[in-house]
Structure 1
Amino acid sequence: MRAFRLLVWPLGLGLLAFTAPLTRRLPDTTYGGSAWWLLWSEVAAALALLTVAALRPLGVGGLAVAVSGATWLVPELAGWTSGPAVLSAVADAWSRLLPALIVIGLLASSRAAVVLVAAGGLLGAAARLLLVDPFLDPDCWRRCDHNPVLIPGMTGPGRWLEAAGVVLTVSGALWAAGVCLSRGRGRLLHELPWFVGASALAAGLIVPGILRLVRPEAAADSAYLVCFLLAQAGAVALALVLIRDRLGQRRLSRRLARLAGELESAPAPGALAGALRDAVADHGLQVRYWAPARAWYVNAEGEAAEATTAGDRQVTPVRRRGQPVAALMHSEAVNGEGLDQALGAALRLALENEQLRAAALAELRELQLSRSRIVERAQLERRRLERNLHDGAQQRVVSLALLVRMLGQRLNGDGQPGPAARAEALTRATVEELRRVARGIYPAVLADAGLSGAVLDLAESSTDLPVSLDTLPAGQYTGPVETTAYLVIAAAIAEARRRDATQVSVSGHERDGRLVIDVRDDATPGLRPTVTELADQVRALAGELTVEPENSGGTRVRLELPCGS
């Protein structure tokens, strides 16, 4: 097919060189021969179609347009009355096939439309060539002599088959136009000039076929002349639209190539999207990167993001080596197909590098969320255990203490209080121990009074070590955040008590969406193992935990947690 494309122009120019002068000498039986400007319009249309065929991608459509351009003036040879009769018959039949070639080459994108149009064109051309005798038509114009390849006795059915071919061609053309109009709004917006030109060209060829069923054809007939001019204008308009698109595509390719050269080897996240916005003059353009392990799109920071058409936003997928790399979300004013074609190898490589980074960030983010879920699940389990101890074992031990007290009162009457008193003291100690264990597993006051209330309760229960509270945020946070902050504060106070501190201060505030807690003591600086054991839990919530000595003596424990964790 590539070799055929190389031969299109020489073959087309050769046929034009033969048919154009011949048409000029046939003023009564051709359109181009009736006026010089009509002939030049035909030549311009033929050259325009050859240009369209040369610029379009290879394929069945490109082949159909190439054949149409090369044979554009062949139907005029039907009016060559002094020439070979077989050649005139073939040229006359070719005029019935030419509309089908144009629709297939320029409009038809569905198999059904292609089949309908091809069947209509072939049926009409075959009927005209083999079954119709122009000599029997009193209104004949171009050919009025006997058909040399006629199958005798079939003129009547031939007329009906020729009409059936017109009906099939019209149906296929309407089907193809409907498919084009049903495409997305953005794509239709970019293809509208092409669609209008192709529709005008197809209508200029198909409508004369309908007119021939009801009125004789003639160059002087205004209806036929309008159709003739519409077809020529449509062909020229298509070439101009395609040339304009190719020039715009070349300019875009140069801008993107310049952009690829200006990009650093490792641009910052989001820098590539910003550069693409400037290159295509769409400040709303966004880039989404494919995360294979997650099977969804993410932004440059690895956050899950939508990549769907919405409103006037269109999505153009970008692939490299057949694999999805990114999706460009842009306005309808940007030709997505042209943008994808203009992306060179360097930019596709840059997008792939950005994709790898975004996918890695997505995995890190998912790992972070997984760790947060594990911490949250652990907190829920701690709370469940605390509830079980409080509502189960602790209540039974309290009941046992009451029974022991009642038994002791009876024994007191017998003068033997010693064992009963010891049993009562032991059960009271067991109750207090269970309460401390339950509070250590999960402080119930967190659920009732929040973090500030729980820290206040912790400070009031510290009778051997004064704990002063400065400002503490009064807001409610998620369970894992409040629990982790409480455990760190409790561990810091316990470490200060173990290191013989004389005072502890606790303060907190919110800053840039993070909860910041400071616990200061005046004990000798050193390691705080109970505190640092909580570092993994803090990091699982994307937080930070630091233990550092103060310049004035003592130690500061600082905790930072995202408020939305």
Structure 2
Amino acid sequence: MGTAAAVLAGVATATVQLSTDSDLLTTHAAVGPAAGAVQVVASLALVGAGLVVWFGGGRGSPGVAVLGAAVAFMAPVWIGWQDAPPWVQSLGALIAPLLLPCLIDVATSFSTGADGGDRPHRRSGLVRVAYVVTVVHVVLRATLHDPFLDPNCWADCRADTLLVHPAPDAVAVLDLLWSAAALLLGAGLVLSSTVTVARRSSAAVLDVGVVVTATAAVSVQVARAMLSPGAEDPRREVLQLLFVVEGVTLVLLACALARFTWCREQHRASLRRLADVASEAAGIESLATALSRATGLSDLELGYWVPAAAGHVDAAGRPMPPDPHGRDVSVLRGDAPVAVIRSHEDHASMALIGEALGPAARLALDNERLRVEEVYHVQQLADSRARIVSASDRARRELERDLHDGAQQSLLAVLYSLQVAAAASRNRGDDAQTRALEGSVDACRAVLAELREIAHGLFPVILDTGGLAAALENLGDRSGLVVTVQDRTVAPLPKPVAHAGYLAAAAAVAAATDCGHSRVDIRLHHTAGELVVEVYGAPAGAYVQTHDRVGALGGHLVRDDENLRVVIPCE
């Protein structure tokens, strides 16, 4: 890489020397001092920016395309060097048209986010088409163009060393096709860049600057190709103006690239410092905060890989689906997935986070992943308990409904038949049969009352129709105790919460009945999104089933000698 940089620096120096000597040149740089200054400044700026991006991003970075654009921009100077060997002019004619695809390459690389780090630079379909079309045009023109037969020859009027067979008409068609291809490629880039700029947020002005300046330079290239197919005549004022505008846009592009690279290195330095911060982070929130501060991303989210979930989960153990826009940055430790980092802001550092995190930061993330994995399993256990409770409640409702609609109705029909038979027997004066039938009626009524009590114990219908307070008042009426209910709840309760509160109070009332107590006071109220059920006069006991039921909803029990306090989240 150092040798290549030295060669490029030498080429740039020679080009600058030629650009300042107007006696030897027949190019835009020789026409006037402004154009010559533009040639010198733009050439040096592009070479410098290309070397900075190349050294900062590696061989696979867009720096290669930037250096290619620099060489292509300097190529017309070699073409116009009248004292140069013919092969130098022929080489310049081959390289000069590559400025267009190289600029498209730079613009699209920053549009697609392949601009940072040491990852391979993946070229888009538009870039591949641009390179292929340009190479085909250059090769065909070099083998068919004879400068002596070109009336528009300006700079390279000596024999073409690559000429195979002169075909002026074919060359004219090639030039027209090249102008049309340049127009289509430029339009495609403008459309792609417009979409890119529209999707970028205010945090992404760095790479947007590169995209906009590169697209502007391509647009100038297209305009030059449309105005002068084939060889350009630098004496035309409009072409001279376009050359100056192109040089200025290339200088701006070099500045944007240099600024982007500098800011990227600042982000890398911040991410390297994150290793020390992450190793001292005390918990999930501090680690996420440190990473957000290091990257400058205010909405940064962390997702941790959990094999049991077959995906990533957040710090609370909830599943974290993949980002539909593909903005997740994966963090690996070796070959094993550790976490993903997500942000909805388009920021240059997002492309660098996964690469710049050091071993200490990856170890800290892996440790947090293990903690989150335990949180996930606990959350899954809690969800499983909640599903069991919900299924149990549904089974209770169905059983109560079956008893009410099935067995109770059948017993009522039997009771009615027995009452009719007893009345008929009484009318006939059959006292023995009447007593027997009346005994069966009483027994049937007792069974029916017992069945109703069982059905009510399974699931009191009034709990759904009248609410928790009404159900507890009904419970007091059936318990034989003096039960007072103070209801301070202001909103309807979720059914699982109301049912759990009812069962907890019912267990305390049953325990009080078994211990011979005569009075129980129940208070209901909301506190910070939680239902609080306080039972005064409840004897001490294990309340194991109540604890399991309340715990399945994330609640808890607090009890002392004569009081029971149940807290259940309402969310």
Structure 2-normalised TM-score? Answer: 0.83
The alignment partner of 1:405 has SS state of: helix
C-alpha separation in 2, matches of 1:473 and 1:139: 93
Matched, 1:156 2:169: yes
Cα separation, partners in 2 of 1:137 and 1:375, compared to 1, 3 Å = same
Matched, 1:379 2:393: yes
CA contact (8 A) 2:469 2:485 kept: no
Residue 156 of structure 1 and its aligned partner are, at CA, apart by: 2.1
Matched, 1:47 2:44: no
Matched, 1:560 2:567: yes
Q: Which residue of 2 aligns with 1:454?
A: 471
Residue 87 of structure 1 and its aligned partner are, at CA, apart by: 3.0
Q: Which residue of 2 aligns with 1:552?
A: none
Match runs of 1:108-507 below 5 Å: 111-183=124-196, 185-186=199-200, 189-213=205-229, 216-218=232-234, 220-263=235-278, 265=280, 267-289=282-304, 293-294=308-309, 298-303=313-318, 315-321=327-333, 323=337, 325-332=339-346, 336-338=350-352, 342-412=356-426, 413-416=429-432, 417-463=434-480, 465-471=481-487, 473=489, 475-507=491-523
C-alpha separation in 2, matches of 1:537 and 1:217: 89
C-alpha separation in 1, matches of 2:424 and 2:223: 118
C-alpha separation in 2, matches of 1:293 and 1:277: 28
CA contact (8 A) 2:469 2:487 kept: no
Q: Which amino acid aligns with 1:143?
A: D
Per-residue displacement from partner, 1:71-119 (whole Å, max 9, x unpaired)? 6534322223344333323323432344334433554776442343223
Matched, 1:80 2:81: yes
C-alpha separation in 2, matches of 1:268 and 1:434: 56
Per-residue displacement from partner, 1:210-243 (whole Å, max 9, x unpaired)? 333388512x433333333334333333332222
Residue 483 of structure 1 and its aligned partner are, at CA, apart by: 2.2
Q: Which amino acid aligns with 2:450?
A: E
Q: Which amino acid aligns with 2:547?
A: A
Per-residue displacement from partner, 1:223-268 (whole Å, max 9, x unpaired)? 3333333343333333322222232223333334444423465533
CA contact (8 A) 1:33 1:39 kept: no
CA contact (8 A) 2:277 2:290 kept: no
Cα separation, partners in 2 of 1:287 and 1:153, compared to 1, 3 Å = closer
Cα separation, partners in 2 of 1:64 and 1:387, compared to 1, 3 Å = closer
The alignment partner of 1:73 has SS state of: helix
Matched, 1:548 2:560: yes
Residue 456 of structure 1 and its aligned partner are, at CA, apart by: 0.7
Q: For structure 1, which segment, 273-282 or 383-392, has the greater mean C-alpha deviation from structure 2 after superposition?
A: 273-282
C-alpha separation in 2, matches of 1:483 and 1:58: 67
How many residue pairs are counted as aligned between the two chains?
546
CA contact (8 A) 1:93 1:125 kept: yes
CA contact (8 A) 1:127 1:162 kept: no
Q: Please, which runs of 5 or more residues in structure 1 have no aligned partner?
A: 550-554
Cα separation, partners in 2 of 1:111 and 1:363, compared to 1, 3 Å = same
CA contact (8 A) 2:39 2:247 kept: no
C-alpha separation in 1, matches of 2:438 and 2:373: 68
C-alpha separation in 2, matches of 1:318 and 1:436: 60
C-alpha separation in 1, matches of 2:54 and 2:7: 13
Q: Which residue of 1 aligns with 2:92?
A: 91
C-alpha separation in 2, matches of 1:82 and 1:475: 94
Q: Which amino acid aligns with 1:47?
A: V
The alignment partner of 2:456 has SS state of: helix
C-alpha separation in 2, matches of 1:472 and 1:102: 72
CA RMSD of aligned residues (A): 3.4
Q: Please, which runs of 5 or more residues in structure 2 have no aligned partner?
A: 110-121
Residue 291 of structure 1 and its aligned partner are, at CA, apart by: 5.4
C-alpha separation in 2, matches of 1:556 and 1:512: 22
Per-residue displacement from partner, 1:132-188 (whole Å, max 9, x unpaired)? 222233442212234354334422212222332343244234323433333361277
The alignment partner of 2:469 has SS state of: helix
Cα separation, partners in 2 of 1:411 and 1:307, compared to 1, 3 Å = same
Cα separation, partners in 2 of 1:89 and 1:475, compared to 1, 3 Å = closer
Q: Which amino acid aligns with 1:94?
A: I
Residue 373 of structure 1 and its aligned partner are, at CA, apart by: 2.3
The alignment partner of 2:156 has SS state of: coil
Q: Which residue of 1 aligns with 2:104?
A: 103
CA contact (8 A) 1:47 1:69 kept: yes
Residue 206 of structure 1 and its aligned partner are, at CA, apart by: 4.6
Per-residue displacement from partner, 1:295-326 (whole Å, max 9, x unpaired)? 6665432345677589xxx9553432573723
The alignment partner of 2:245 has SS state of: helix
CA contact (8 A) 2:408 2:451 kept: yes
C-alpha separation in 1, matches of 2:128 and 2:488: 77
The alignment partner of 1:182 has SS state of: helix
Cα separation, partners in 2 of 1:547 and 1:154, compared to 1, 3 Å = same
